Structure 1
């Protein structure tokens, strides 16, 4: 039996699914949450709804590091939205780690951190505070809208999680940790490839996530396909111009075909959307688009290129979140006009 304990910082859609699956498999996991979600996890556990099951899993839930004694058997998994990652990382990096009844250092010094977030910025954020950082490329259709509940629409496996040391390559200690993560997370119903370099996978996922903003802003109110194609083409040009390695479409398609597929979850509408849609639906006041479309704008600006479509989309998403706009409040034609493509 694994002696590793996974501390899931940010038990929303992705973190809740990972932590809930680990707990359901009998592995040691702590879910870090806040507000009504934390209260629900503590009082009734985590309701995990999938195409094949509807179970409530008892979980160990805390609000922060002051409620937990960390040891050298802990692995931190940051699964917040990217815009929330700096606060999460600084909160946990200086938490004391105990061994033999005494403090032996901080989490940043002693513990590994896995970054299970969209985009490609969180690994660099984490390296500012943690000596051992491992990127996670998350392929998992998960939804969190109700306190104490997570919906996962992948089956028969819940998702695919590529994990690797950042920066690559891994040494013997890294390989031992990655092997343990692969063993535990596979037992928790995930496919867990261990690529030599995880970042090309994360950049390919970044391209896929550029469409999140269309789903959130328009949400079926017109055809955004042509806009999405031009946005993705712009991003690919920028990444190529910057010399950034991106996993090929063929390799990505092959990996996906060997993993999970999406299925309906009983009682869940088919039009439930992704992470940006969920942020607008919950009215959080912010979205991660600055680290998706905005990441392409950043790379373009750093390398003397231009990415006007992605930059404008990041602005529109920011404004929508700040104003409390609901998904679908904008038509595809209106969005095209605001992008200068009408």
Structure 2
């Protein structure tokens, strides 16, 4: 008898990276009745053990008890592992989470940018290719096999007030999908779980397309904000900078078309969406201001690599990457050459 979504349960859930997005998801999942554990360290670990995980939203405060540890083996095998860390931390994190993953564990990647599994079961002639820019030695793919992965695109804005204390600003959208594009019982069950937990969850027939469309906007605005200190409204108000952004988006649009992700919109259409955010500080700008490593490889280097693989020239994206990494290296937030 074939498996159905009713045969798949997600009772035990581990959050790896209880920052803004991971913490937000963890609170909602715990309030919906799941047994939530958190792999954490330092001040966050101590806070979670003593006070639980806390979420502030619209004047309401929700605090949930969680099992927290810095040792994955102490948490044991989970039904669902939500990985929501910054891309530069993923190589190290991937080596730590093995004890959480059993034969049937689903690993949900709720992260920015192009993931290491992007071309698994997708990409036409590029299908199956490994992206060296995000997984140089293949360590992530070995630790987190593609068979366990379900992709997730987050459309929400959250921040960390203090370790273990999350503030939700706006948005509650989660798009999930199998890398292969198949509608499996496990992705159906996960979609149902997220809806029950209060998220506006959407089941995608091709999650790579949703990843690419989100990336189409933030691969340019994020790095520019990081090395200029400008909010999104100021970036788009400058005609020359907006033109530079549009040129990069056209390059990315051509790459997308080459791997099976056509985008019907023009850059100005996306700019109109970004303008609705007002004077928004991007996540990469916040990282720079907090002295944290920046996600340049997942947002920009991977797009450049896909351009090289597909034969699409990327002079404007190359310029952005060069400027961004020069700035980040000067601050010690990106690896030296």
Is TM-score (shorter-chain normalized) higher than 0.5? yes
- Residue of structure 1 aligned with 2:247, choices 223, 233, 236: 233
Aligned residue runs from structure 1 range 16-55, under 5 A: 16-55=23-62
Q: CA deviation at 1:30?
A: 1.4
Matching of residue 12 in structure 1 with residue 27 in structure 2: no
Aligned-partner Cα distance in 2 for 1:69–1:187:
25
Q: CA deviation at 1:287?
A: 0.6
Q: CA deviation at 1:191?
A: 0.8
1:285-327 deviation line (CA, Å, top 9, x unaligned): x11022112222222222333323323333433344444489x
Task: Tell me the secondary structure at the aligned position of residue 303 of structure 2.
Answer: helix
Q: CA deviation at 1:194?
A: 0.6
Task: Tell me the secondary structure at the aligned position of residue 113 of structure 2.
Answer: coil
Aligned-partner Cα distance in 2 for 1:229–1:248:
18
- Residue of structure 2 aligned with 1:165, choices 150, 174, 178: 178
CA contact (8 A) 2:151 2:207 kept: yes
Q: CA deviation at 1:208?
A: 1.7
Q: Which residue of 2 aligns with 1:258?
A: none
Q: CA deviation at 1:41?
A: 1.6
Matching of residue 212 in structure 1 with residue 217 in structure 2: no
Task: Tell me the secondary structure at the aligned position of residue 95 of structure 1.
Answer: helix
**1:10–1:232 Cα change, 3 Å:** farther
Q: CA deviation at 1:196?
A: 1.2
Matching of residue 68 in structure 1 with residue 72 in structure 2: no
Aligned-partner Cα distance in 2 for 1:281–1:143:
14
CA contact (8 A) 1:144 1:278 kept: no
Q: CA deviation at 1:202?
A: 0.5
**1:3–1:133 Cα change, 3 Å:** closer
Matching of residue 282 in structure 1 with residue 297 in structure 2: no
Gaps of 5+ in 1: 97-106, 251-261, 264-269, 327-342
Aligned-partner Cα distance in 2 for 1:85–1:18:
19
Q: Which residue of 2 aligns with 1:141?
A: 157
Task: Tell me the secondary structure at the aligned position of residue 229 of structure 2.
Answer: coil
Gaps of 5+ in 2: 1-5, 119-134, 266-275
Task: Tell me the secondary structure at the aligned position of residue 123 of structure 1.
Answer: coil
- Residue of structure 2 aligned with 1:181, choices 170, 173, 190: 190
CA RMSD of aligned residues (A): 2.9
* TM-score scaled by length of structure 1: 0.74
Q: Which residue of 2 aligns with 1:224?
A: 235
